[in-house]
Chain A
């Protein structure tokens, strides 16, 4: 990993961190646990398509650690980590299968982020009643995932992959 790659990854982590904070500031909560717009997933998506799955995975984990240590508590970290990991695995598999475009991958990521959090909550709280929240969470995840996917697609088209980032073969804007 050369200096340019390290600084690029650092930049993305910072971006994901800030977006998580912005999301925490938005008062859109409708009282359903585990609901997220997933702004930070935008960065993970861009990373997944530009700098590879290994780096994107690292980015996702470091983001959750940073955000929950700064703004949350241990319980929050557990939920976020479950959501982030499950959503990453699903996005990785979906991308590998080549059956979906960026939008489809992002939708799956958004949906499974919410599903992962609810699954952990069911185990922590030992109440299966939370399953009733799943339909709403999946609908929200689908819609936000669609928007995030469309935006991510636009960004990815413009910044290219590792090569473009490190050697600047795409003319700077």
Chain B
């Protein structure tokens, strides 16, 4: 290993660790009781569901594929999916603002929207 390699590796790790911490802190701060999840398919909003009530939603697509979204204990999780890689199923349940679960094969994203962001939207409208 050259000196440049060490500098590269160290700076990559440090920068990412710091930004990771900053993102986590900011996400925690901007989460309120009024958070909800927004489900988007192919960039279009499919539906929004509040995080404070339990529900199970099966999102069915025209080509037969599906994702099952479960909201429980204030957390949203995808428990079942028809996609081959199952990345969305293995993803940890999301709770904080702007956290998201993505299913690339089905072009589906589930994003937590914090209550605060909602208020800003409401005032600018």
Contacts and interface: CB of A to CB of B under 8 A. Distances in A.
A142 B9 contact: yes
A129 B99 CA distance: 8
Size bin of chain B's contact surface:
35 or more
Contacts of B9: 103-104, 107, 142, 146
Contacts of B4: 99-101, 104
Interface string B53-93: 00000000000000000000000000000001111111110
B107 A132 contact: no
Given A31-B91, A72-B84, A130-B102, A125 B107 contact: yes
Interface stretch (A10-18, A55-63, A73-81, A158-166): A73-81
Contacts of B90: 29-31
Given A104-B8, A139-B13, A129 B104 contact: no
Contacts, number: 104
A127 B20 contact: no
A71 B105 CA distance: 13
A157 B88 CA distance: 40
B98 A132 contact: yes
Interface in B33-52: 40, 42-43
A-B residue pairs, 7 tightest by C-beta: A31-B91, A126-B43, A104-B5, A135-B16, A135-B20, A31-B90, A101-B2
17 contacts: A31-B89, A31-B101, A33-B104, A71-B84, A76-B104, A100-B4, A100-B5, A103-B9, A104-B9, A125-B102, A129-B100, A129-B111, A132-B23, A135-B20, A138-B12, A139-B17, A142-B9
Interface of B: 1-2, 4-5, 8-9, 12-13, 16-17, 19-20, 23, 40, 42-43, 84-92, 98-102, 104-105, 107, 109, 111
